[in-house]
Every structure is written in C-alpha cells, then in structure tokens.
Amino acid sequence: MNATAQGEIPPRATTAGNTASGRGGVSGALRRLLPQSYLILVLVLIVIVGALVSPNFLTVRNFSNVVSFSSIVAILAVGQFYVIVTGGIDLSVGAILALATVVVALTLQTGVDAGIAVVFTLAVCAGFGLGNGLLVVWVRIPPFIATLAMMSVVQGFSYIIQSSSLIYIQNQTFVTWFSDGRVLGIPNPVMIFLFVTVAAAIVSRYSTFGRRLYAIGGNREAARLSGLPVNRDLLVTYSLSGFLAGLAGLVAAAQLLQGSSLVGRGSELDAIAAVVVGGASLVGGKGNPVNSVIGVFVMATIINIMNLVGISSEPQLVIKGAVILVAVFLSSAGGVERISAAVSSLRGKRRTGP
Amino acid sequence: MNQAAEAVVRQGRPEPELLAEGIVKYYPGVRALNGVGLSVRAGSIHALAGQNGAGKSTLVKILSGAEIPDEGRLLLGGKQVHLHSPIDAQTAGIQTIYQELSLVPELSVAENIFLGMLPRRAPVPVVDWRQMHREAEKALARIGFEMDVRKPVSSFSVAEQQAVELAKALRKRARVILLDEPTSALPPPDVDRLFSVLKALAQEGETMIYISHRMDELYELCDTVSVIRDGQSVATMSTAETTPADVISAMLGKALKGSIQEASLSGGTHPRLGTGEVGDVILSVQGLAETGKVEPTSLELRRGEVLGVTGLVGSGQSTLVSLLAGARQRTSGTIAFEGKPVNFASPRDAIRLGIGLLPQDRKAHGFVPDMSVADNMSLASLPMFSRLGMLNDRRIGQTARDIAARLEMRISGVDQSMKTLSGGTQQKGILARWLVRSARILICDEPTRGVDVGAKEEMYALLSDFARSGGTVIIASSEISEAVLCDRVLVMARGRVVAELAHDDVGSDGAEIIRHFA
C-alpha cells in the first residue's frame, strides 16, 4: 500500500522547484510527470484532431470564438475549484451568474454609472456566496444541500426582481468593459479570465490562504488542530465563488446585451465537470486552478470540433459524457498508473512464462 | 525446516496447519517481503512481531488474501492454496479479524454473524430467522458470550462487537484465525476476557495467528513468536524459553541494553522523561469540565514538568487533555495561562500561547495525508514563513530539512507525502510541527499508540529532550508503562481524577496506579 502511494505524485507539493528529486531515470520521470501534464497532451491531441478534420478549426476567428465562449465557464470553474479543494461543492454558481445578469441590467436601467452597477452586482453575488458559506459553516448543512437550496432561492429571487421577460442592456460603457473592448488587442472577457486564472494560480500555489484551503480539504480536523482559521477560510471561499459567478455573469450580460434569469442554466455542472476533468478530487485537497481552466478548454474544444464537422447536439452530449469519464479515469482515478501497472504485469508474465 | 516445524515433528503432528515458504512481495521500487517463512502448528497461538515497515502487515495482507505474493507458496493443512482475494482466503479457511472491526453497525448481531450466508427455509426462499438466531446464540455461547442477537451491533460495547466478529469467524470454516491488534481498543478487563476465550479456543484445537505491539500480551497469550525484520524471518522462538527483551532485540536487530523501554520492561529502575526540576506554574485550571465526559477538575502544570494523565481507555484522560489544548469545548471551568485567565474557544487560541496537541487518532486528526512532510510541518506556523500572505517555500523546505534531520526522520525528502510514512515517522512529523512553532507545552494524547518499539523509544527520547530544554509536556496514556515515565501522574476513573502520584511513588510496575483504577 505504501509503495503504490509512493509511485504517485503528491498532488501539488512536488510541482515547482524540487523536481530534481526524481528517481528511476527517464521512464521514472515520465511516469511521474504524465499524470500531471497529461491534460496538456490531451488538449494538444484534440487540437491536432481538430486541424485534421476541419479546415476551419485552426483559424484565428475560430480560436477567438472558442476562447470567448469558454471565458465564462472558466471564471466559474476557478471559483468552483476553490470550493472543491476545500472538500465542498457549489451548485448555486449558475443561478448566481443569472442573478448577476438581472441585477446589473436592472441597476443600469436606473441610469446609474456602470462602475456603480458593477460593484453593486458583484457585492450582491458575493453576499449570496457568503450565505452559502454561513449555511455550511454555522448551520452545518452539507455543501451539496446548502448550495442546492441556494440555487433554488437565487433562481426564484432573479425571477421575482426581473418581473418581465428580459431586460435589455444599452449602457455602452458596460458593454465595452465586459465584451467589446480590447486591451493590447486581446478581448476584455479573455483578459478578465486570464487575470482571474493567473491570480488564482498564484494564490493557490504561493499564498498562505491557498495552502490553508488544501489543508482544509485534505484533512479538516488536522487543519483545525493546527490552528488554521477553518471557518473564516470557508466563508471567504464560498463568498469568492459567489463573487466569481457574479463576474462571469457580468461577462455573459455584456455579451448577450440583456439580463435574464434563464442565462447560464446548468453552467454549474459544466464548471464542476471541468474542475474534475482537471484532476481535482471532489473529496478535496487536490488539483490546481490552471488544470481546471485547461479542463474547460478540453471540453470546449471538443464541442467546437463537433460543431465544425456538423455533429448534432444530441450525440454531442453523449460524447461530452464519455470525455468526462475518460478524463477522470486518467487523472483522479489513477488510470495512468493502473494502465502502466497492468501493462508491466502483462509484460512480466510473458517474460517469466506460465 | 525451521525450529517450529521441527517442534511439530517432535509432537508427532507431521503437518503444520499453516505453512508459508519463501514469500516474496515486490512493490514498485521496494521489496517488502524477501523470502519470509512461517510455520504455525495446529491448535497453537502464534505471534507475529516486527517493527512497522518490517513487512509484518504485508504478510498479514497476503495471508488474508488482500495481496498476492510474487513468489513463494502457502500450504493450509498440507495442501497448497492460491489466494487471489479475501474471499479465497475465507473459503480456504483463513479468517481475519482486523483492528478496525468490519461489522455492519445497523444490522443485528445474528445478521452480522450470518452475513452473506443467511439460512434459507425451503421451499420458499425466505430467511429462517429462528434458526439463524438459535445458531448465532450458539456461536456466541461457544466463546462465553450471551447477547440479545436481535439487537443491532451498534448497541454493544467494543468488546462485545469483537466477540461477534470472532463468532462470525468461527461460524465459517476456520482453519486459521488471524487477529490483527485485537486489543488496541479494549480496556484491560475485556482484554483478560478475550484472552481466556482465545486460550479456550486453542485448547479446542483452533489455530490462531496473533499480531500485537504489546510484548506483555504476546507473552501471556502465545506459545510461539515469529519475528520479521526487513522483509525476512529473523527468529522463531518459544515464549516459554525467552523473554520480551529477546523479541524486541530481534525486532530491532540490536540488543536493547540501556534503553528506556528495557528499563521499563525489566521493572528494575524506572526512568523518567523529565528532569524532575520544575519552575513556576504555567497553566492552572479550576473546575474544568465537559458534561458527561470529565467531572470538574482542577490542576496546576509547572514549567519543565512531564505530567502524565492515565486511566483505563475511556476514563476521560483523552478528553481532559483535549480541553487543555482547546480542541474540545469545556462546559464549565476556568483556565489561566501564566496567571492570566484565557478562553480556549478553538485550538487556535491555545496554539497562540504555545500549546500544541499531538492528537490520539493520528490518521484522522493529525496530518494532511496528501501534503508533503514540509507542508505538514509548517502548517501551524504559516505566518512565520510568509510576507504579505505569500509563502516562502524555500524557507519552509530548509526549516523542514533541519528539523527532519534533528528528529532523524526516515524520509526520502521533505517533499515526500505524509501518507507514505510509517506511523512513528508521521508522529515525528506532527511533533515537528510544534517544534517549528516553538511550542512551550506539548500535549500528547496516546503518543505511542500503534507505533512500534523502535519508534516508541525514539519518541520518548524526543519528548525527554523537549522537557530537558525547558519544555513542558502532558501525556495522556492508557499504558501504565508510559505513565510511570512521567514526573507526576494523575489517575482518572470515570471522568474524575482519583489520585495524584509523584514519580517516585508509582512503584516500578505502576502498582500504585492500577490500585486506583476500577
């Protein structure tokens, strides 16, 4: 048991700076790195397949389409990652995203400054996230149930305040900020999600807050007995998830030019799937936000290729499900190790003979 | 043929009940077992001893079918068997009773005993409850237990649950019963009862393999001890002709002379962990209580002291020290640190004052399994290693390497993940967490539970060092041999401190302590 555990990589601890401790030469190094970087390989493979099957795939236009389309889920996935790494889950992010579109559209309708509308919306969304946190920490409801209930509450709340079918957004400043504008030639939504991803990566890898979240997800009681502010950190994490869902909602609202409680239905599941495809464990304590975002792109690229070659949406769902299963088998279920163990035992049998 | 097998021949029983020969087991990069042999005579209780990491648990896994050996053969009653799964082992007749009981708490005693083979009544395939209850009662009666077999298992004590497990094993065709640390959760009176049951079963011809870290148990119960070290069988001896010190020497591969445990085992002089010199009162407690667990207790702890809190398992010693570490919430009472009243609302408050806890359940509460040794060590001192909320991993690694070297931790590097370490090394890692934090009071709840003799000795030496360098230690322990090492011992019974004994008054075998139990 010990020895099999030694074969695998401690999830994050060995990443930067100390790869020199490798044993077993090239194949050993490869075996240790493979589970870590396999996602990139998978993405590269998908891109190659895409280039082969569709002439339109490797075009700037298609590329920017995929990235813009993915930025919303990517922002959600980062927030979801933080919750999942603590051993929780946040099912309310899709509903909070929709709420953000409604709230920002309504506030803009009153004619206030775009900046104020944005800050207000993000505050409301973080507030609902905090509500999740309070339910989990103080009322001690399991995260799955607490955020499921919150999802329903938020959906209903959006309907009520929306009160009409949908609300158009005409504030050009807002639309420029979150959709049309560019910085250094890069569309703003992409800039936002890049910023969020990089910041999240730094926080999770180098900050005390990030380290504490891994500890809480890895063993909550050990974290508590080590004097970590577990409750406070969980409140911050759920608020952060709400905040990022709000941010994703702002991008969605600006792209759609409307606020509607129907936006983003089911996107929480896309985000969770991406985090899991990115190698995080729902038990907590494992994974990193960059892999979660790569997970988003793996899914988005596959869907894009299927669209380009004209596969209709029903078979797409089947393929999407299969991709999730294979990816999770390879990453968190230890598929790479299991396959290589099976191969080596087969080889061993052949060598010694029956 | 080894000694034990020869003994069998002498007694006119040609075949040992269980014979393992040349067992080899590889794990990636490690040879866990390197040609281990074991010969168990029918009707004997055969002990298996070895340090953690010696290969003992791998052998147990192979015998119980959980692991498949790479080489070697296994004979049961003279016939070779191939065990590919726990079910194979059970069908072949090897029944294992694990440290953590494997009963279904919600099901009745009878259902648990018959799990997977409920008696059916023909012609309609319905469960024959009456027969099942009768048989279950009979199976329990055989080992001297009388229980309401209709009640769920969860309503019985650990000792009774263990009896259910034993009855279940006996109900199946048991050629060999494997008992893996069965006494680790039992209070002494129940241990005695279990032993008399096991002895009676041996009289009836049942064959047992007994695994335990506790030498006194091995010598009370077993007739033969096989010692495994570094994946090899190093000795098989008769308990009638040897002493526990011989077994421990074989386990360690060196003589035990002059060690703390040797002194404690031989019962001559009994050493102390502390210096015996104490300073001012550092922690004082008035009427501290947790309803239903600990009665109002008052005590004073002095700087440099090693205070033992002992009692039978579940007498409240663990709860009391957890209250002192802020890990549990008191229902009444006051705590003062260096004369100033403090409120321990969470472990954080106690840690801020330099009080660190080594929790009893190391795996569940002690460390983050997937994190590296370095990250686990720095967990309580993150602000020390950070600026503006950003960690300095190089300093964490440096500090961890220094401390790991000081504590002589057996690790490949500080980035090795904590879950891959042995119990004793993990315990050192948790201790290191408080040394990094420069804790002044260490509260150790059963610090050497599930830790092998070698690691135990090292743990005592480390705690002794800590006390000698001016640190203060509280040890909660249900092991008398550990309590006698302390400067002062509080004896607890039913949540109440019933006696306070100075180091010199406990008596070398702790007789004074035992007198206050019950």
Convert the pLDDT of each residue in A41-72 to its tens digit.
888 888 999 999 888 888 888 888 888 889 99
Q: What was the pLDDT predicted at B480? A: 79
Per-residue pLDDT tens over the stretch A254-278: 999 999 999 988 899 999 999 998 8
Pure H helices in chain A: 2-7, 25-53, 60-85, 93-109, 114-137, 143-162, 172-175, 188-206, 208-218, 220-225, 230-256, 267-277, 289-308, 313-330, 335-352
Judged by CB atoms closer than 8 Å, whether chains meet at B368 and A223 is answered as: yes
Q: Is residue B347 less than 8 Å (CB to CB) from chain A?
A: yes
Chain center to CA of B60: 16
Give the CA distances from residue A10 to residues A34, B97, B415, in Å, rounded to whole numbers and listed in that order: 13, 32, 8
Identify whether the C-beta of residue B65 lies closer than 8 Å to the C-beta of residue B88: yes
* Contact indicator for B370, B419 with CB cutoff of 8 Å: yes
Give the least confident one: A5-9, A323-327, B239-243, B398-402. Answer: A5-9
* pTM score over 0.80: no
pLDDT in tens, B369-397: 999 999 999 999 999 999 989 999 999 99
Dump pLDDT digits (tens) for A229-246.
999 999 999 999 999 999
Nearest residue of A to residue B392, measured between CA atoms: A206
CA distance B463 to B273: 7
Instruction: Name chain B contacts of A223, Cβ cutoff 8 Å.
Output: 368, 379
Lowest mean pLDDT among A310-324, B23-37, B198-212: B23-37
What confidence tens digit (pLDDT) does each residue in B227-246 have?
998 888 888 999 888 888 78
Peptide linkage before B123 cis (omega within 30 of 0): yes
Residue B8 scores a pLDDT above 60 = no
Residues 6+ away with beta carbon under 8 Å from B110: B129, B132, B133, B135, B136, B137, B149, B150
Count the helices and strands in chain B (H runs, E runs). Answer: 18, 24
Q: Which residues of A touch B61 (CB under 8 A)?
A: 1
Nearby residues of B241 by Cβ (< 8 Å), 6 or more positions away: none
- Selecting from A207, A221, A227 the residue whose C-beta is nearest the C-beta of B364 gives A221
Spans of all domains in chain A: 57-306+313-329
Note whether A229 contacts B: Cβ–Cβ < 8 A: yes
**Residues of B with CB below 8 A from A221's CB?**
359, 364-365
On whether any CB of chain B is under 8 Å from the CB of A219, the answer is yes
- Burial of A109 (C-beta count, 10 Å sphere; 0-12/13-18/19+): middle
Q: Is the CB of A340 inside 8 Å of chain B's CB atoms?
A: no
**Closest chain A residue by Cα to residue B423:** A2
According to the model, what pLDDT value does residue A326 have? Answer: 83
Express each pLDDT in B88-99 by its tens digit: 888 888 998 887
> A265-295 burial string, b = 16+ CB within 10 Å, else e?
eebbebbbbbbbbbbbbbebbbbbbbbbbbb
Selected residue with higher pLDDT from B451 and B129? B129
pLDDT digits (tens, 9 = 90+) for B290-302: 988 899 999 999 9
**Among all residues of chain A, which has the CA nearest to that of B58?**
A1
Whether residue B158 has pLDDT greater than 70: yes
Q: Give the DSSP letter of residue A207.
A: B
Q: Give pLDDT, residue A201.
A: 94
At residue B386's C-alpha, the angle toward residues B382 and B388, to 5°, is 125
Say if residues B214 and B265 touch (Cβ distance below 8 Å).
no
Which chain A residues are Cβ-neighbours of B393 within 8 angstroms? 16-17, 206
Q: Which residue of B has its CA nearest to A222?
A: B365
Query: Any CB–CB contact under 8 A between B396 and chain A?
Result: no
Residues A207 and A215 sit within 8 Å (Cβ to Cβ): no
> What pLDDT does residue B257 have?
57
Quick count: other Cβ atoms within 10 Å of Cβ A46?
19
Question: Which of A21, A221, A227 has the CB atom closest to B380's CB atom?
Answer: A227
How many residues in chain A? Answer: 354
Chain A CB contacts of B352 under 8 Å are: 227
Is the Cβ–Cβ distance between B512 and B501 less than 8 Å?
yes
Minimum distance, in Å, between the CA of residue B5 and any CA atom of chain A: 31
Q: Which fold has domain A57-306+313-329?
A: ABC transporter involved in vitamin B12 uptake, BtuC (1.10.3470)
pLDDT > 80? residue B117: no
Q: Are the beta carbons of A17 and B394 separated by less than 8 Å?
A: yes
Separation between Cα atoms, residue B355 and residue B326, nearest integer Å: 9
pLDDT at B13 over 60: no
Say what percent of chain B tops pLDDT 90.
Answer: 38
Cβ partners under 8 Å of residue B512, min gap 6: B499, B501, B505, B506
pLDDT at A7: 36
User: Closest by alpha carbon to A285, among A209, A215, A334, A236?
Assistant: A215
d(CA B51, CA B357): 25
**A349, burial (CB in 10 Å: exposed 0-12, middle 13-18, buried 19+):** exposed
Q: Which residues of B touch A211 (CB under 8 A)?
A: 375, 379, 382, 391
Which of B371, B376, B436, B443 to probe the A interface (max A CBs under 10 A)?
B371
A207 touches chain B (CB under 8 A): yes
Strand extents, DSSP E, B239-368: 281-290, 294-302, 306-310, 332-337, 340-342, 355-358
Alpha-helix residue ranges (DSSP H) falling in A166-219 = 172-175, 188-206, 208-218
Please compute the mean of the pLDDT values over residues B116-138 and round it to a whole number.
83
3-state secondary structure (DSSP) of residue B319:
helix
Q: Is the ipTM of this complex over 0.90?
A: no
Checking if the pLDDT of B363 tops 70, the result is yes
Distance CA A82, CA A214 (A): 9
